[in-house]
């Protein structure tokens, strides 16, 4: 395993450092100390380096927009309705940052923070940590978040989130906001991909895009378990939805919770490149970048709708207000750990 680090610009007058691991097959990951961004996940295919993520070598493409492009997201992922929720008989009020809701941990969440790099070495692991206090982001209690990126020699990336809560009960529902496009760089969208999801239901939303607790059976373009062709699904959604694509919470089947079978499989049909995603949590948010800023530029060229598919493995959002969607409470003095695995394969 090869390890190196280099400068990656500055943000808010602080140095951004990129940490890179390369395994014996040439598979590479790069992680930034700002927002824990997974800046690169790439492989060698027929001697050429191929990116699996939407990627840029310009820091501004990660910071000057609302994509959360490959960011660590926390303390909670997704929307919390009205930026508030009940906890221990009290109403917790948060900072809002989208349509009156708290989105992805609010405006001061982990996606906007610098992490300490505790360990970055040739053993295949990069470990970042950040202590968040109630004074910083408004969530109850203090949370120490540790995020480890571990690359194996069989091309498996394991991202582990460990949270330790102190001073009050709180909530903990982190994810990595990964945007996948497995095609060659000259292919600017994901219409040539398949996306298989181990899901039979998705969540209904209210007008603010917060889940309202109602479940919808996956049919038509949402039935990605049986009809995984993204090009066909996106064409239908463009005609029938205001988003013009996916921005949906898919509930994972109960048999997925063991984590032994993939929760999602994304495949570029032309190249045969594939990533299998494993998670023991109950949901995946799928977002097809329909509202992407066309002024941005990435490895696939000028940004356009459907440039990539974000896959966010997590407990269903807004479960703070709707306990039937999942338990995200973390008790004072306790710790919780979640992992997401991304296994690269070539068909």
**pLDDT tens track for 175-220:** 999 999 999 999 999 999 999 999 999 999 999 999 999 999 999 9
Give the CA angle between residues 27, 28, 30 to the nearest 5°.
165
Residue 133 has pLDDT above 90, yes or no: yes
Of 271, 303, 290, which Cα lies nearest the Cα of 56?
Answer: 303
What pLDDT, on the 0 to 100 scale, is given for residue 34? 98
Number of domains in the chain: 1
The active-site residue, picked from 71, 104, 150, 177, is 177
Residue 121 has pLDDT above 90, yes or no: no
What pLDDT, on the 0 to 100 scale, is given for residue 211? 97
Range of the domain at 243: 2-346
What pLDDT, on the 0 to 100 scale, is given for residue 42? 98
Mean pLDDT, to the nearest integer, of 273-287? 97
Per-residue pLDDT tens digits for 20-41: 999 999 999 999 999 999 999 9
- CA torsion, ordered 92, 96, 102, 108, to nearest 10 deg: -90
Region of residue 157 (phi > 0: left; psi between -120 and 50: alpha; otherwise: beta): beta
Residue 276 has pLDDT above 90, yes or no: yes
Region of residue 227 (phi > 0: left; psi between -120 and 50: alpha; otherwise: beta): beta
Residue 258 has pLDDT above 90, yes or no: no
Mean pLDDT, to the nearest integer, of 162-171? 98
Residue 255 has pLDDT above 80, yes or no: no
Q: How many CA atoms lie within 13 A of 260 on its CB side?
A: 3
Known active-site residue 98: no
Of 155, 143, 81, 86, which Cα lies nearest the Cα of 109?
Answer: 143
pLDDT class of 118 with cuts at 50, 70, 90: confident
Residue 259 has pLDDT above 90, yes or no: no
The active-site residue, picked from 40, 150, 312, 320, is 312
Mean pLDDT, to the nearest integer, of 10-14? 96
Average pLDDT value for the chain: 96
pLDDT class of 257 with cuts at 50, 70, 90: low
Residues 6 or more apart in contact with residue 191 via CB below 8 angstroms: 230, 231, 234, 235, 306
Residue found by looking up tokens 């049986």 in the block:
226
CATH, residue 57: 2.70.98.10
Residue 120 has pLDDT above 80, yes or no: no
Report the DSSP beta bridge partners of residue 131. 144
**Is there a contact between 6 and 31 (Cβ–Cβ < 8 Å)?**
no
Per-residue pLDDT tens digits for 65-104: 999 999 999 999 999 999 999 999 999 999 999 999 999 9
Kind and range of the H or E element at 156? Answer: strand 156-166
**How far, in Å, CA of 41 to CA of 159, rounded?**
12
Known active-site residue 177: yes
What pLDDT, on the 0 to 100 scale, is given for residue 261? 92
Per-residue pLDDT tens digits for 46-70: 999 999 999 999 999 999 999 999 9
């Amino acid at each position: 395993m090869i390890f190196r680090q280099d400068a990656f610009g500055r943000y808010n007058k602080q140095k951004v450092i990129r940490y890179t691991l390369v395994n014996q097959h040439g598979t590479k990951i790069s992680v930034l100390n700002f927002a824990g961004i997974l800046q690169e996940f790439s492989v060698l295919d027929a001697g050429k380096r191929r990116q699996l993520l939407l990627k840029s070598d310009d820091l501004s493409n990660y910071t000057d927009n609302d994509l959360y492009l490959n960011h660590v997201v926390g303390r909670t992922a997704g929307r919390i309705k009205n930026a508030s929720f009940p906890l221990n008989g009290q109403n917790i009020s948060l900072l809002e940052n989208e349509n009156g809701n708290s989105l992805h941990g609010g405006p001061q969440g982990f996606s906007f923070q610098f992490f300490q790099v505790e360990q970055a070495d040739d053993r295949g692991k990069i470990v970042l940590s950040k202590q968040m206090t109630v004074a910083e982001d408004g969530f109850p209690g203090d949370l120490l978040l540790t995020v480890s990126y571990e690359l194996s020699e069989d091309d498996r990336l394991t991202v582990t989130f460990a949270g330790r809560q102190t001073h009050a009960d709180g909530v903990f529902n982190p994810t990595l906001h990964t945007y996948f496009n497995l095609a060659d760089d000259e292919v600017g969208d994901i219409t040539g991909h398949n996306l298989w999801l181990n899901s039979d239901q998705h969540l209904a939303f209210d007008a603010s895009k917060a889940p309202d607790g109602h479940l919808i059976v996956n049919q038509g373009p949402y039935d990605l378990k049986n009809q995984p062709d993204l090009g066909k699904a996106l064409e239908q959604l463009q005609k029938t939805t205001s988003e013009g694509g996916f921005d949906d919470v898919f509930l994972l089947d109960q048999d997925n919770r063991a984590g032994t079978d993939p929760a999602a499989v994304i495949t570029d049909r032309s190249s045969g490149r594939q990533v299998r995603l494993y998670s023991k949590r109950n949901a995946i948010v799928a977002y097809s970048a329909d509202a992407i800023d066309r002024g941005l530029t990435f490895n696939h060229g000028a940004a356009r709708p459907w440039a990539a598919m974000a896959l966010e493995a997590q407990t269903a959002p807004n479960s703070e207000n709707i306990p039937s969607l999942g338990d995200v409470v973390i008790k004072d003095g306790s710790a919780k750990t979640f992992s997401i695995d991304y296994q690269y394969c070539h068909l």
